[in-house]
Amino acid sequence: MDLITLHVTDALVNLTCGAMCFSIWASRPRDRCFAFWGLGSLLYGVTASWLPYLPDGVLGLGLGHSALQVGNIMFWAGYRAFDRVSALPVWLLALPSLPFLACLVADVLTQSEVWTYRITIIAYCGLSMSQVAYVLRGCESWYGPRAISAYAVILILASILTTSFLSGTFITYETGGVLFILTDHVMSIVFTLAVIAMVGQRDLQHLVNTSRRDPLTGALNRAGLAAVIAEDLPGTGLLLLDVDHFKVINDRHGHDAGDEVLRTLVARTSAVMRTTDHLIRMGGEEFLVIAPVANAGQAAELAEQILAAARDKPVHHGEAVIPFTLSIGFALRTGAEPFMQTFKRADLAMYHAKQSGRDRVVEGAAFCAEGV
């Protein structure tokens, strides 16, 4: 198969990948990243189809690689749109001109077609590696779809540099051209599949996170609790919170006011919690805080902070002013004690706090020792 035919098939591959991205964008207009990726593939494909027909010399070389860079900028804009930052800042729009400028400067300084070509290639690949660096910086793992899309670009750039610097010495020009185009064929498909998988992975994670959250308060729900328990952390403090006289609040001010009290409780509790702590709504007005603590003193200190935050100031709902307090029981999970056993001790301590007058903290171990 001759190089002209391979350039045409390379263009068709990229045009197909672009059409695929545009079709996804048409069904998901909120995901603008697909529009940019689709546009990038289309521009790259169109440029690849007429690249062999560009005039020889500085003008054709510089314009061709600047046109290719426009496609790469669209890919970069797609990642930025995915990351929910400005997709096309001014500095990004200026980058496509750099290969052309590098070509002109190299031609003036070197007076060599070979080195002008190589410097233009280096400028083009350097800008593309900046995109790769941006993509890899946002990776959560080195083997996820985002990382794979970056690796695909790296392999394309490696084939460009290989054919540019080794053709005519270690390999023939025709072999180098075939190597680059075949690499671009495969990696363009890999790139497209990877970015589609990247968006799918994000959406799946969003669904998982949503399924683990209480829609009213934003705290974790029982499904979220199961995920936390699966971590099986020893030395964990369980703080069970219950809003005092919550039924009276609902009966006197209405369920909307009760909902506002619960949302306020979650907000105030979250404000005093550490990043390693978890807040779960167990049901109704009962919440559980799971906190890694070294001893009962740390657990009691956190419980007192939550208690103080709750009573700090009343909740305003319409014209109603609603003060509220908490009863908190806590227990420490040590060693291999089953989670539910620790939870029962915290539940008994919370019940004891209710019976002792509410608006207080009771430790599960102390309660059990008393035998009450």
Of the candidates 288, 250, 145, the one whose C-alpha atom is nearest the C-alpha of residue 205 is 145
327 belongs to a structural domain: yes
pLDDT tens, residue order, the chain (372 aa): 677 788 788 889 999 999 999 999 999 999 999 999 999 999 988 887 777 677 777 888 888 889 889 999 999 999 999 999 999 999 999 999 999 999 999 999 998 888 998 999 999 999 999 999 999 999 989 999 999 999 999 999 999 898 888 876 777 777 777 888 888 889 999 999 999 999 999 999 999 989 999 999 999 999 999 988 887 666 689 999 999 999 999 999 999 999 999 999 999 999 999 999 999 999 999 999 999 998 899 999 999 999 999 999 999 999 999 999 999 999 998 777 888 999 999 999 999 999 999 999 999 875 454 444
Using only the alpha carbons of the chain, give its radius of gyration. 31
190 shares its domain with 302: no
Q: Where is the domain boundary, 182, 211, 240?
A: 211
Q: Which residues lie below 8 Å from residue 74, measured CB to CB, with a gap of 6+? A: 36, 37, 39, 40, 43
Give me the residues paired with residue 290 across strands. Answer: 238, 278
Q: Out of 164, 188, 211, pick the residue that ends a domain.
A: 211
Question: How many residues in total does the chain contain?
Answer: 372
Domain membership of residue 216 (yes or no) is no
Do 227 and 167 sit in the same domain of this protein?
no
CA distance 371 to 162: 79
Among 211, 236, 263, identify where a domain stops: 211
For residue 370, the model assigns a pLDDT of 44
Look at the block and give the residue holding tokens 């392999």. 155
Tell me: do 109 and 199 sit in the same domain.
yes
Does the residue 217 lie in any domain?
no
pLDDT in tens, 57-81: 788 888 888 988 999 999 999 999 9
CATH number, domain at 299? 3.30.70.270
For residue 169, which amino acid is it?
Answer: T
The token pair that represents 267 in the structure block? 């907000």
Is residue 156 domain-shared with residue 248, that is, in the same domain?
A: no
| pTM score, whole prediction | 0.78
| Claim to verify: residue 115 and residue 230 sit in the same structural domain | no
Query: Containing domain of residue 90, as a range?
Result: 3-211
Domains held by the chain: number: 2
Distances (CA, A) of 108 to 60, 103, 111, 121: 16, 9, 6, 16
In a domain, 365, yes or no: yes
> Same domain, yes or no, for 125 and 187?
yes
* 145 and 228 fall within a common domain: no
Is residue 169 in a domain? yes
The answer to whether position 55 is within a domain reads yes
C-alpha distances out from residue 219 to 7, 88, 124, 278, Å: 55, 36, 48, 8
Asked if residue 229 belongs to a domain, the reply is yes
The confidence score (pLDDT) of residue 314 equals 94
Specify whether 63 is located in the same domain as 177: yes
Q: Specify whether 340 is located in the same domain as 250.
A: yes
Q: Is 323 helix (H, G, I), strand (E, B) or coil?
A: coil
Alpha helices per DSSP H over the chain? 3-27, 32-50, 58-82, 90-94, 97-110, 113-137, 145-166, 173-211, 222-229, 246-253, 255-272, 296-311, 339-355, 364-370
Whether the CB-CB separation of 54 and 81 falls below 8 Å is answered with: no
Are 165 and 192 within one domain? Answer: yes
Residue at 243 is within a domain: yes
Q: Residue 233: is it exposed, middle or buried by C-beta count within 10 angstroms (0-12/13-18/19+)?
A: middle
Q: What is the CATH number of the domain that holds 174?
A: 1.20.1070
Q: Are residues 110 and 166 in the same domain?
A: yes
Query: What would the DSSP string read from start to end of 197-261?
Result: HHHHHHHHHHHHHHHTB-TTT-SB-HHHHHHHHTT--SSEEEEEEEETTHHHHHHHH-HHHHHHH
The strand pairing partners of 283, in sequence order, are 286
Same domain, 199 and 244: no
